[in-house]
Amino acid sequence: MAQPLSALPLLILLISGAGAAAPPPEVPSRGSDLDPRQLTALQSMGFPTSRDPCSVPSARDNATACDNSAPFRHLVSLRLANCSPDLDLPTTALRALSTLRSLSFLRCPVSAPKHLPVSLASSLRSFSCDTSLRRLTGVWLSRLQNLTDLSVVGVPISTSGPAVVLSQMRRLRSVTIARTNLSGGVPRHWHALDLVYLNFSSNRLKGRIPSSISALGSLQNLDLSSNALSGTLPDSIGDLADLKNATFAHNSLSGPIPDSISQLSSLTHLDLSSNQFNGSIPKFVAEMKQLKFLNLEKNNFQGVFPFNATFLRKLDVFKVGGNANLCYNRTQLPSKLKLKLGIAPCDKYGQPVSPPPDRSTRADSDYADDGSDEGSGDNGGGGGGNHHGPSKLVLGVAIALSCLVFLVIFLICLSKICR
C-alpha cells in the first residue's frame, strides 16, 4: 500500500547473509547520491554498500528506495530480508534513517531495538515485520503513530490486547496482526476509522465481537479466523456496507446468521466454518449477487438446506458438510450435487434421515451411497413419499451403463469372430 513510493526508483541493496561478510566500507566509485550519514548508518548495520543503494537497479528483495532531494538523496524505503541473526541495529544508525516512510523485515531473526528513535517511529507510514525481530510488545508497536499500514506476522507480541497496539494510530488503512500469540479481545473503540483491511487471524483473541465494529465503515476485508472468539455475530455487521471478504472460521461463535448480512451487497467471500453457528441457513444468502465463496461447514446449522442448483453452480466454493442436523430436500437438487454436499437427505418432516454420508468413502461408490441413503430413509420410516424418483433414476442409469458395457464387449467379440 506504499503508493506514494511507487513512482520512486526502487533499488536493491544486497544484504550479505552474514553481517560479518560485509566488505570493508569503500567510497563508491561514482560518488554516492545517498546522504553520507545514511550510507554510514547502513554500513554500521553491516550492509555492503560497495554499490550506491540509490543507483542499483531494482530487485524484489532487499530493496531500498530513495527520494530525489539534493544535494543528497535520502532513503524512503528499506527492506531487510534474510539477515544474519547477529546483525546489529544501533540506535544512532536508526536515528539517521528517520527519512524512512517504509521499513520492513522479512526473516530477520535479530533482536528488536529496545527503543525505536522517536524521529524514525513517527516518520514511518508502513511497517512490516514477518518472522523477524524475535518478539515485540504492544507498547513498542504503539509508538508507530503515523502508520497507514501495519503488518506483523509470525512474531510473538506480548500485550494485553490489540487495543494497546492500535490506540494511537489514527491513520491506519491496513492492519495485519497474525500468528502473533496476541491475547485480549477485539477492540471496542476504534480510532482508525478509515480502516479498509483488518486481519487478526491465528491469535488467541477471545470474547465477543463488539457491535462497535460497525464504526469501521470503509472495511472491505475482515479476517478474525483461528482465534477463540465466542458469542453471536453482531447485527451491526450489516452496516459494513463495503465488506467483500469476511472470515470468522475456527472460533467458538454461536447463534444464527444475522439477517443484516443480507445488506452486504458487495460480499464475495464468507467463511463461517468450524464454529457453533446454529438455526437455519437463511434463504436470502442465495440472493447475494456477488457471493463466490461460501463455507458453512462444521457448525450446528439445522433444518432444510435452502439453496437450489442454480445458486450452487454460481459459487466457486461451497461447503456445508459437518452439520449433523441439516438435510436437503431430495426432490430439489440433482443427485450429483446432493452427494457433494456431505449432508443427509430430509424426511418429510424436514429432519435428516440418516447420518450424513461419509465424504471419505463416497468417492468409491457414488451410486451405492445414494442407495444406502434411500435405504436408511425407509428404515427410518420417514422418506416414504419421496424415495421413488431418485432411486429409479439411479437404477435406470446403472442398467443403461451395464447394457452399454455388454454391448461393447459383444461387439469386440463379434469383430474377432468375423476376422
Nearest CB to ligand NAG, comparing residues 16 and 142: 16
**Per the structure block, which three cell numbers stand in for 405?**
458395457
Q: Smallest gap, in angstroms, from Cβ of residue 194 to ligand NAG?
A: 15
Yes or no: say if 245 and 269 are a contact pair by the CB < 8 Å rule. yes
Q: Does 262 bind ligand NAG (CB under 6 A)?
A: no
DSSP 7: T
Q: Does 324 bind ligand NAG (CB under 6 A)?
A: no
Measured CA to CA, the distance from residue 38 to residue 34 in angstroms comes to: 7
Q: Does 332 bind ligand NAG (CB under 6 A)?
A: yes
Residues 6 or more apart whose CB falls under 8 angstroms from that of 141 comprise 127, 150, 152, 157, 165
**Per the structure block, which three cell numbers stand in for 262?**
443480507
Q: Is the peptide bond before 90 cis (omega within 30 degrees of 0)?
A: no
Q: Smallest gap, in angstroms, from Cβ of residue 132 to ligand NAG?
A: 13
What is the x/- site pattern for ligand NAG, positions 206-225, by CB under 6 A? ---------------x-x-x
How far out from the chain centre does Cα 222 lie?
A: 9
Q: Where are the beta strands (DSSP E) in 147-223?
A: 149-153, 157-158, 174-178, 197-199, 206-207, 221-223
Nearest partner of 201 among 179, 173, 231, judged by Cα: 179
Q: Does 203 bind ligand NAG (CB under 6 A)?
A: no
Q: Does 266 bind ligand NAG (CB under 6 A)?
A: no
The dihedral over CA atoms of 192, 139, 104, 149, expressed in degrees to the nearest 10, equals: 0
| 94-102, 343-351, 392-400, 403-411 -> range binding ligand NAG (CB under 6 A) | 343-351
Out of 122, 131, 230, 376, point to the residue binding ligand NAG (CB under 6 A). Answer: 122
Out of 132, 159, 199, 214, point to the residue binding ligand NAG (CB under 6 A). Answer: 199
Measured CA to CA, the distance from residue 15 to residue 21 in angstroms comes to: 9
Q: Does 255 bind ligand NAG (CB under 6 A)?
A: yes
Nearest CB to ligand NAG, comparing residues 204 and 409: 204
Q: Does 279 bind ligand NAG (CB under 6 A)?
A: yes
Q: Give the residues lining the site for ligand NAG (CB under 6 A).
A: 12, 14-17, 59-62, 81-82, 122-123, 145-146, 153, 156, 176, 178, 181, 183, 199, 201, 221, 223, 225, 245, 247, 254-255, 269, 278-279, 286-287, 304, 308, 310-311, 329, 331-332, 346, 348, 350
